[in-house]
Structure 1
Amino acid sequence: MQAANPSDTQPMDGELSAWALACLAAQVFALDPAGCGVLVLRAQAGPARERWLAVLQNLLPAGQRMRRLPLHATQDRLLGGLDLAATLQQGRPVVQRGVLAEVDGGVLLVPMAERMPRAMVSSLVGVLDAGELVTETEGVSMRAPCRLGVVLLDESQGDGDLLAAALLERASLVIDLSTVSMTDLHGEESYGMDAAEIERIRPRIGFVQVGESEAEAVCAIAAALGLQSLRAPLQVLRVARLLAALIGERAVDAAVLKQAVQLSLLLRATRVPQLPPSDDERQDEPPPEPPPTQNNAEDPPPAADAPEQEVSELPDQVLEAAVADLPADLLARLKLNELRLRQRGSAGRAGALQRVAQRGRSVGTRRGDPRQGLRLHLIDTLRAAAPWQRVRQAARPRPGLQVRPQDFRVHRYQQRRETTTVFLVDASGSAALHRLAEAKGAVELMLAECYVRRDRVAVLAFRGKGAEVLLPPTRSLVRAKRSLAGLPGGGGTPLASGLLAAAEMTEALRRQGQSVVLVVLTDGRANVGRTGQPGREQAFKDALDAATVLAGQQLAALVVDTSPQPQALAEQLADRMQAAYLPLPHARSNDLSAAVLAAQRAQGGA
């Protein structure tokens, strides 16, 4: 059957295309937008996204249309508050309603949700959790109920800005239109439905029951996918009830649960699920030993049917069926996410610290809102308003100077960003002493120059089964010499662990607003994997995955090939990192220092 057709009452057993699954998500969301809370739509601007938004709009009743949040909306515009310009004009406090108050009972559409400022994310999350809009700022206090559904348009690509974890945690539905083509859109009519049909279906929701076994299965599936939030199972059960109502069922069964897991959990998974072994794998395993019998007359005989076994098998059945319908590349993306989560933190906000500079040297003024933490430049504000006074007085005669929002001028500041050069040194193998000597000389030269530029240097080394920080970011020449004097050498080459440790340090430095230059000294011959297990093939594969994480940071990087002759492995590593490659079999400290300075100039930090 077509899962999106409410006239059928059979379970949803058939596999749905990406477009059909997206239309099904729109129907589920339209049934109860406030109950679903957040729907995440991962798609770039284009016909597929616009068609899906039109489908959702057609499913909403006339009084519940979508309201788009302006791209440059401020927190005051979102929540409401004091209208500064109107207050100055009228000489009394003038309160303006926010977008959330205006969209109460409807659906809020948030474009480019991955770039939403943290303060606005916190405010939106607070309203969604409490179902109430509270505004207390600038002498204004407002409190009103607010229940709405939110559609987040996630346009993030690769390792750029990512959707805030707090928003993703509250998403009941996550769909991806990146694989939908124009051919798929021609089948839209077969999944059509209108607002009148949604209204007829809505009363069914209260009659849908969820069994205890299904609830336990959802908890097990969420844990298997790496979702630790307690919201995840509740969201899946909510979606499952809505799906059951769509097809006219009174109870949630395994087929409905599979669709709910696909719509709510799979695209939020943080790890690859461990599926049960296949029948062939089970035949290869030795049979389990029977438990020892105890002759106890008081123990009751085992029941003829074992419901516990059915409960334990249900999560595996549902998860295996859901994963079987995944896109071909999704499991590969989940594996890469396991690496990215080691350094992601609240990913996607590396550049946020530099968007509003409030310190440094004043270099003029610009238009802006002083309520966004910017300093008002009063003289330039009055200068901007002065030429318009005759026109404004003629239009609306009022005593005093009339100031409009477009007149506000705020300070512009220029602040020099610190630069930290991070050296990642391969301290393994018989030639480690030579490489460490080269790194020591280069670091000492860089430190001497840092006294002039006020920059910093850090050193990490990897050997054996892991990596360690030998020199935290510092400008102290004495401390650097002491730390570098006793660098150990020898052992295996855990290149992936070293790159991930460097990624963690560089990400932390970038979040502090610093420019970072990474210099990796290695021959690329990894022989210890990320888990500490030996094996060259897996170790180099792990190293390439870690290099992909570093490439996502888009920092200036340099890979110095320290082998006696240039190695293809080191060059391949540099290509994956999107770093410059420098074969330097007999490197001297001066040569390495010059190469690092060139990388700094490319970054703009020199």
Structure 2
Amino acid sequence: MPLGPWERVEAALTLLAIDPAGLKGLWLRARASALRDRITGALGALPLPVRRIHPTIGDDALFGGLDLAATLSAGTPVVQKGILDEPAALVLAMAERTLPGLAARLGTALDAPRHCLIALDEGAERDELLPLGLVDRLALFLDLDGLPWGETREIALDPERLAAARTRLAAVAKAGNRRGRPLPSRMGRLGTGARIDLVGTLRAAAPWQPLRRRQQKTDAVLLVRPSDIRIKRFRETSDRVLIFAVDASGSSAMARLSEAKGAVELLLGQAYARRDHVSLLAFRGRDAELILPPTRSLVQTKRRLAGLPGGGGTPLAHGLRLALAVGLQARARGMTPTVALLTDGRGNIALDGSANRAQAEEDALKLAASLRGSGLPAVVIDTANRPQPSLAALARALDAPYIALPRADAHKLSNVLGAAMGD
């Protein structure tokens, strides 16, 4: 039985509350009214915090930036977080007025499975519509035009039922971010969480129809038995993530960082269709810092990489330890990580923070053994003017390829790393 207008509204909100990031959001075409407020009031059932934005919002608010007032008050740079730094349900008012630039930024943010967008389209004319870049991404659409208030009711979404639905959804999904080319379907049964191959099932059942009609003495158009069921199969692969661990120490740090930034952007641009991700961490001074968590967002990447500092000691072991943590976290999310180490020399800062070269080298080799034991693939790129035996030894400890690139530009780096990832 088809759903009525208000039942469709309730069904859409239920689906959105179960998997907001997967569905990416809702295009709600409605003028400001008590009816629209009734619908947006149900967004509290989403497992994401609700953040309200407007068509003129700036990049600083979205991606973060320098807090000028706090900086002047403190006398040191104070950086404020952006709305997109944390997963959120973004409620965009007057969405029909969204300019192409903002639409592109929001579309890129939606491509990462973290956010969802509720676009409140208040257009009075039929040609006042949401930008196509957002329309193509949002799975749900509701138009409240002509829906009387008297045919609506309060929306009550049961938190326990939503939680149970999310658990079932997680149970039937392929682990992590899986994708792949279709394979020939196979015999199977319903209720296993697999997807039925309707054409294959009908093809298997078709030759037996005359015999089954005679046996059952019926003129039914189609008789399907459990043995006819065919299940879809895919050659599964995980989304890949390349983790750059970049040596930001020493006098040549700025040039090395510049080329690493360029390689990150090149790889992201080339990998968009393959759903590959990149991550960047830098080690300098006495510690390592995660500059860019795994992402596919070119806009966010460029903002995060701008003004990355360099110089100081070489805490190589800290960099390897952070790369291991990022790689294990990515793998736990169903991704396939590869670590790319870019450096031109030996570590001279130990894990305890001391400037003890011997201890620093021992710590780095121990971390390399841990990386190797974890099964994370890696590649060591030596950017020194002359090949460094210590880096070749580190590569052997990692069981990783060792590549000497004394004049590594962004294009060479992206080609080498693409080859390392099997492209």
Bigger Rg, structure 1 or 2: 1
TM-score, structure 1 length as denominator?
0.36
TM-score, structure 2 length as denominator?
0.49
More strand by share: 2
